[in-house]
Amino acid sequence: MNPSELKVIATLKEDAFGKIELRELEGEQVICRDYTDATPWLRPLARYLARREARVMQALDTVADKHLPHLIHFGKNICIRSYIEGVPLKEGKVTNPAFYDHAREILDRMHAAGVVHNDLEKPENWLVIQDDVAGIIDFQLAYHSTRRGRIFNWSVGEDIRHLIKQKNRYCREHMTEAELQILNNKSGFGRFWTNYVKPVYNFITRKIFNYSDREHSKYSR
């Protein structure tokens, strides 16, 4: 495959890590992460993140769920994945509890395949395909593991807790007692991450790299 032959429909995001484009491949829309023009000293990191995301999407192919992205092509300086039609939850603000039930089903299948997302606190990373059909995108911070150790299990719990957080934000009247208990009982490691690690991550990405992962809604499909 020669990525340069793909018709560019729109550039959706451009920053120090390269650009995200909506392109056309054999009559179908696809999402391309192109880091050819990444800042030179960041290019190795951009390549590493793209390679990691490609491995995760290869693992997701075993799930065979159209509400999750699948890898189409990974090559020099580019990663191409499927396009999912929908709007970010931040815009859709779904109040139908069936949406969150479906989202949990997707999470369970994803976790069973050994994939954790690690970035589901952002409503931009949840897609509203219909008011009872969810999708998940942006697996740049996700990872795949065949071992179910403590870190993996903690990450699974955080994915679930972040889904419950979205439900509490947009569909609070349908929260269950079990969900409220999970939401209100954050783990010690989770508190440590929020209080000490996340501020450092935000400083590095936003102040040093001038990059905000809150701006992904434009290319979220």
For the stretch 44-88, pLDDT in tens is: 988 898 899 999 999 999 898 999 999 999 998 899 999 999 999
Domain membership of residue 11 as a residue range:
3-82
How much is the pLDDT for 37?
A: 87
Is the confidence at residue 198, as pLDDT, over 90?
A: no
- The verdict on 114 and 213 lying in the same domain is yes
Domain containing residue 131: CATH number: 1.10.510.10
Q: How far is CA 145 from the centre of its chain?
A: 17
Is the confidence at residue 170, as pLDDT, over 80?
A: yes
Q: Of the residues 82, 104, 126, which one is the last residue of a structural domain?
A: 82
- Residue 13: what residue type? K
15-19, 167-171, 188-192: lowest mean pLDDT where? 188-192
Is the confidence at residue 195, as pLDDT, over 90?
A: no
How much is the pLDDT for 15?
A: 83
Q: Of the residues 58, 82, 106, which one is the last residue of a structural domain?
A: 82
Helices (H), the chain: 43-60, 89-92, 97-112, 150-170, 177-184, 188-192, 198-203
Q: Which two tokens stand for residue 73?
A: 């092509």
How much is the pLDDT for 172?
A: 96
Mean pLDDT of 12-29: 90
* pLDDT classification of 216: cutoffs 50, 70, 90: very low
Looking at the chain, the whole-number percentage of residues with pLDDT higher than 70 is 83
The whole-model pTM stands at 0.84
CB 123, CB 89: distance < 8 Å: yes
122-136, 159-173, 193-207: lowest mean pLDDT where? 193-207
- Number of structural domains the chain divides into: 2
Domain containing residue 22: CATH number: 3.30.200.20
Rounded Cα gap, residues 73 and 77, in angstroms: 11
- The verdict on 66 and 165 lying in the same domain is no
Helix axes 150-170, 97-112, angle to 10 degrees: 170
- Unique residue bearing structure tokens 């999402």: 31
